[in-house]
Chains A and B, each alone.
Chain A
Amino acid sequence: MLEVLNLSASVGDREILRGVNLTVNAGEVHAIMGPNGSGKSTLAQVLAGHPSYTVTGGEVRYEGEDLLDLEPEERAQKGVFLAFQYPVEIPGVTNAYFLRAAYNEIRKAKGLEEADPMDFLDVLEEKLKVVEWGPEIMSRFVNAGFSGGEKKRNEILQMAVMEPKLAILDETDSGLDIDALRIVAGGVNRLKRPDSATIVVTHYQRLLNYIVPDFVHVLVSGRIVKSGGKELALELEARGYEWIEDLAGSGATA
């Protein structure tokens, strides 16, 4: 589904990704872990097409297409979803407006008829269950005045509406209390399909008790320096990141 080949990217003149390689197949859950500043979030943002990052080398194939050649909205319409680490507040637009606009863009891209507000309400009813929310949330402005936990739940609600093929969760667990974490992770698990894949970007192993990864990759200084199964996350939790940074350092000099 996704093939990242030797990907490098920078912001301004600062190089952040220095040759990332990653292959993700349908049905898999990949966790990307790493110390702060290692480039985890940059990888997520580059895959979604954030204009602040410049790709300086490598390529990304998604479903056989050159992902980097697509506008952010085209990537989203083709099934790439990024749950933001810091969801943006849009005061003035209700969640209902926003979600229906997104939903209809996907329908348009698929050549389907747009849903009117009444039809969309029926769609939403199901989606709200994924994050254990009532309809009240729909009349609030997008993320404005939301708690940290509510913002992350709202990301998962958007994911439920968009039904992505490739979901990238960027630090979706940071700042969540245990109840919110349970709801958010439960939502992600419910949205998994055999034909979809999930990339979980996180600093902490805790989330991975709820969203169990098939593969764990450790990103240090813009490179994946170690990959393994879910037990690697536990090892990182027990030992911290220092040993692996040392490993990356010696690797670099080798």
Chain B
Amino acid sequence: MTAVADRVDTTLPAWLLALRQQGGQRFAELGLPKSKDEEWRFTPISPISSATFGVAPEASVSLDALAPFMFGHAEWPRLVFVNGRYSAELSSVSVESGVRVESLALVRSGNAALEKHLGRHVAIDATPFVAWNTGQITDGAFVHVPARADLAQPIHLLFVTAAGAADSVVYPRNLVVVEREARASIIESYVMLGDAERYLTNTVCEVVVGENAWVEHTRIQRESERAFHIGCTHVAQERDSHYRNFSFAMGGAIARHDLQSHLNAANVESLLYGLYFGRDDQLVDNHTAIFHDHPNCRSWEVYKGILDGKSHGVFNGKIFVTPEAQKTDAKQTNRALLLSETAKIDTKPQLEIFADDVKCTHGATVGALNENMLFYLQSRCIPHAAARRFLTYAFAAEVVAEVALEPVRAELDRLVQERVGVGLGA
């Protein structure tokens, strides 16, 4: 892999320069993952390793072109980034007073919360891509919701790759801090405009959920099917907090998402839902890890994949329960539906439990569509091929139903219907 470096901005505050340097150094030591690395065993990234990526060009995009990605709610506050750069014209950040929704490049000096949290939660070498991203921090979304604020509207972070970005790389770096007793809903979308192109998105998002705070985080990955998308989301939860993540992945020739949920205090609830699609030669990888370090916490995880063609899914779900984490209630379910003989999935639940008074379960199923269900639909007049699509839709819809925001749920439902080829309407 070769990446042409963006010029270093000398106006960066010292702490950020230091963080970037650390990232750059660590990445130089690590290099990109190799197939012998346990965490990347089933995820060959040689197409990334062997490619050359340049700086993404500036591009102009019209607001109209973004309309399809706004869930019918253009009035929701949003930050828009085009080819990795913040676009003030396309963004709309009128929010309650005290709430900050800004481009990281614009606030990087003089914000205490940014300095306190950026790069302080995710381990710099959580994956080599995190180190790489950290070494390149330039822009991204910064959301700060002060204590006891209750956001009336969700905040949309929209990352757009515009036409002309072939063979380029962007490094969005996001930080969401929701302080104690506040409530916020965040949508993080990665979309592609124009023709399918090969490019790399290497993105990191840190989410801090304060004491008794409530955060819903919907991540939607709709990159080009020729693109590479590598993302890492790190969630740090404080006492009595509630965090709900929904991760939707549809694009990418290689798409990998690492999601780490750290339950850093007692009585925390963490809900992780995922839905991913693969077709043709797509490789879709979800690595999740939940760290139960304190007592009386609950985690609930459901991931589902639909794989067709020669696509390849990877799921790895780690749950760590330390001896202190008594009364942990953790449930993990992961299911994959293989629609073709040539699609495959490598799935690995990995529970490491060191406390004795806990309830931890996991279930993994991989399979084709159920014959009895197909017959049931056929006996209700629905032809075999349509019944297959119907059941594929049902498999996905069950998890889409978990998206709490209705307009987002409706849009994901529409995307699923379109992908699966059913027309059930709203």
The residues of A with any CB-CB pair to B shorter than 8 Å are: 48-52, 71-73, 75-77, 81-82, 84, 87-88, 90-93, 97-98, 100-102, 105-106, 109, 116-117, 141, 158, 162
Number of B residues near A (Cβ < 8 Å) is 30
B154 to chain A, nearest CB (A): 24
Contact pick for B396, options A77, A92, A158, CB 8 Å: A92
The segment from B12-20, B28-36, B46-54, B367-375 that touches chain A is B367-375
Give CA–CA (A81, B379) in the complex, Å.
Answer: 7
Are the C-beta atoms of A162 and B381 separated by less than 8 Å? yes
Across-interface contacts of A141 in B (CB, < 8 A): 398
Across-interface contacts of B401 in A (CB, < 8 A): 92
Are the C-beta atoms of B379 and A76 separated by less than 8 Å? yes
Are the C-beta atoms of A117 and B382 separated by less than 8 Å? no
Chain B binding surface SS class: helix
B59 to chain A, nearest CB (A): 38
Scoring B375, B376, B377, B383 by chain A CB atoms within 10 A of each residue's CB, the highest score goes to: B376
B375 to chain A, nearest CB (A): 5
Are the C-beta atoms of A116 and B425 separated by less than 8 Å? yes
Are the C-beta atoms of B372 and A88 separated by less than 8 Å? yes
Give CA–CA (A100, B390) in the complex, Å.
Answer: 12
Q: Which residue of chain A has its CB nearest to the CB of B370? A: A88
A67 to chain B, nearest CB (A): 13
Are the C-beta atoms of A87 and B376 separated by less than 8 Å? yes
Q: Does B391 contact A (CB under 8 A)?
A: yes
Q: Which residue of chain B has its CB nearest to the CB of A141? A: B398
Across-interface contacts of A101 in B (CB, < 8 A): 380, 382, 386, 390, 424
Q: Which residue of chain A has its CB nearest to the CB of B401? A: A92
Give CA–CA (A158, B398) in the complex, Å.
Answer: 22
Give CA–CA (A75, B380) in the complex, Å.
Answer: 9
Q: Does B393 contact A (CB under 8 A)?
A: yes
Are the C-beta atoms of A76 and B396 separated by less than 8 Å? no
Across-interface contacts of B397 in A (CB, < 8 A): 92-93
Question: Given A49-B375, A75-B379, list of 18 further CB < 8 A pairs?
Answer: A48-B379, A50-B375, A71-B383, A73-B384, A84-B379, A88-B370, A90-B394, A91-B398, A92-B393, A92-B394, A92-B395, A101-B380, A101-B386, A105-B380, A105-B382, A106-B381, A117-B425, A162-B380
